[in-house]
A and B are shown apart, each in its own frame.
Chain A
């Protein structure tokens, strides 16, 4: 890490657009914020006088809550917009919504949208900072950053570590952002899923691909287990949840064959007994709740960094 590194991006749209140095800078900054979250008084005045609007076009409880806590701990004023009940139902376009909110002098937009690239469109059209809180199947950068932060905290570094991502990768923005981040920081990435839902894009990323769970667990220093989205079309590929658990679920027996100190992650919400057993989710290798705590530090770091960029050029 160079000492005089200057962050100069007004937006956080995805890890695809960041350099290894920029990602490391966010992780380093988050370490300072993690200390703030351990204090009795967990609030610092860094973003006093700024306003953030949380625009959630898709339902979200934890990401939205996590962003709101992060904003408040930085002394940033917060406006939560329930976009389902807003003028979007009256036909207003995303760009018009953005420009109107900007006229209210909002400094930072946190946006979740079902269309991939929606945050990018907004970033090109408003001078406020845009933070992507998940866009379709595209990216979920703050989730990947908190995963990277947790891996670095647990394993000391990311470079050279073996990380397996298991589950419905094709439909996962978490997986996509994680793969970008892990590859840029020099990890060896394996993705594992039933053949029928293995992503076509895997080759371009330069990741190892397998449909065998034991291959994904062998030699892994960390695993990131994704939520099986049975409400989506996977149901056709995997008619029974029990069947999925039998073949791919992380059980204690399977974990016994892995490295003793393997780090077990899950972005939540967990389907207990489908992608992971309760014993594993609550077991000694699980860092699932630490991920949630680290999410606050990561989001504080991202808010702090983008808010400091004065030269508002769209990226």
Chain B
């Protein structure tokens, strides 16, 4: 097991992504953050706090559960536990920044895009992730990246956050 990011680095990385988003949009009313359950939700909340702190303006936040849009629902045994999607604002006419922990095959993001479009028509959709580990199976890329980590498919990347795990770190393990 190898630690890729520790607690402090995760915090600094989120600071940087928050600044990049503000640099890009200038006015937080132009966009909304949407975290993909489970860990994307917590990362999106942290980004929201930071952007609000830096800009002194409110930032909209939604949470997306992509389970019903997965392309492997008919292949996996037993339905995964559903959690509600919470997007209580109109996404039409706004830029949406999807937030997730790891970008890998791109299939989760594909599901999230389909799910989002059922809620309205955003002006555009961007993607922010803590780790991009490569091995895409779909033509998808991230707009805001914490760290690029070249990996092999035999390796596993785990983002652990204090909201749902005991530790706060990003680690690389062998499967």
CB distance from B92 to the nearest CB of A (A): 10
Does A197 reach chain B (CB closer than 8 Å)? no
Known interface pairs A39-B118, A39-B119, A41-B119. Does A5 touch B73 (Cβ–Cβ under 8 Å)?
A: no
Q: Is the interface of B mostly helix, strand, loop or mixed?
A: loop
CB distance from A129 to the nearest CB of B (A): 12
Known interface pairs A32-B84, A35-B84, A35-B85. Does A44 touch B118 (Cβ–Cβ under 8 Å)?
A: yes
Does A7 reach chain B (CB closer than 8 Å)? yes
Which of B68, B78, B84 sits near A45, CB closer than 8 Å? B68
Bitwise, A38-71 to B at CB < 8 A (1) or not (0) is 0111011110011000000000000000000000
Using CB atoms, name the residue of chain A closest to B80. A308
Does B77 reach chain A (CB closer than 8 Å)? yes
Using CB atoms, name the residue of chain A closest to B119. A39
Whether A308 and B78, one on each chain, are in contact in the complex, defined by CB atoms closer than 8 angstroms, is: yes
Which residues of B lie under 8 Å from residue A4 when comparing CB positions? Answer: 81
Which of B68, B76, B81, B114 sits near A5, CB closer than 8 Å? B81
Which of A7, A28, A40, A44 sits near B79, CB closer than 8 Å? A7
Bitwise, B92-115 to A at CB < 8 A (1) or not (0) is 000000000000000000000010
Does A8 reach chain B (CB closer than 8 Å)? yes
Which residues of B lie under 8 Å from residue A44 when comparing CB positions? Answer: 68-69, 118
Chain B contact-residue range equals 20 to 34
Which residues of A lie under 8 Å from residue B82 when comparing CB positions? Answer: 28-29, 32-33, 304
Does A309 reach chain B (CB closer than 8 Å)? yes
Does B166 reach chain A (CB closer than 8 Å)? no
Known interface pairs A39-B118, A41-B119. Does A309 touch B78 (Cβ–Cβ under 8 Å)?
A: yes
Chain A contact-residue range equals 20 to 34
Does A22 reach chain B (CB closer than 8 Å)? no
Does A102 reach chain B (CB closer than 8 Å)? no
Which residues of B lie under 8 Å from residue A29 when comparing CB positions? Answer: 81-82
Does B65 reach chain A (CB closer than 8 Å)? yes
Whether B118 and A304, one on each chain, are in contact in the complex, defined by CB atoms closer than 8 angstroms, is: no
A233 to B77, CA, bound (A): 48
Does A232 reach chain B (CB closer than 8 Å)? no
A33 to B85, CA, bound (A): 9
Which residues of A lie under 8 Å from residue B118 when comparing CB positions? Answer: 39, 41, 43-44
Does A305 reach chain B (CB closer than 8 Å)? yes
A23 to B133, CA, bound (A): 40
Which of A7, A32, A307 sits near B65, CB closer than 8 Å? A32
Whether B78 and A6, one on each chain, are in contact in the complex, defined by CB atoms closer than 8 angstroms, is: yes
Using CB atoms, name the residue of chain B closest to A3. B81
A36 to B84, CA, bound (A): 8
Does A89 reach chain B (CB closer than 8 Å)? no
29 contacts between A and B (CB under 8 A): A3-B81, A7-B79, A28-B82, A32-B65, A32-B82, A32-B83, A32-B84, A35-B84, A35-B85, A36-B68, A39-B118, A39-B119, A41-B118, A43-B118, A44-B68, A45-B68, A45-B69, A46-B67, A46-B73, A49-B74, A304-B79, A304-B82, A305-B79, A308-B78, A308-B79, A309-B78, A310-B77, A310-B78, A311-B77
Q: Which residues of B contact A (CB under 8 A)?
A: 65, 67-69, 73-74, 76-79, 81-86, 114, 118-120
Additional pairs, 8, CB under 8 Å, beyond known A29-B81, A33-B82, A36-B85 = A4-B81, A32-B85, A41-B118, A41-B119, A44-B69, A45-B68, A50-B74, A310-B77
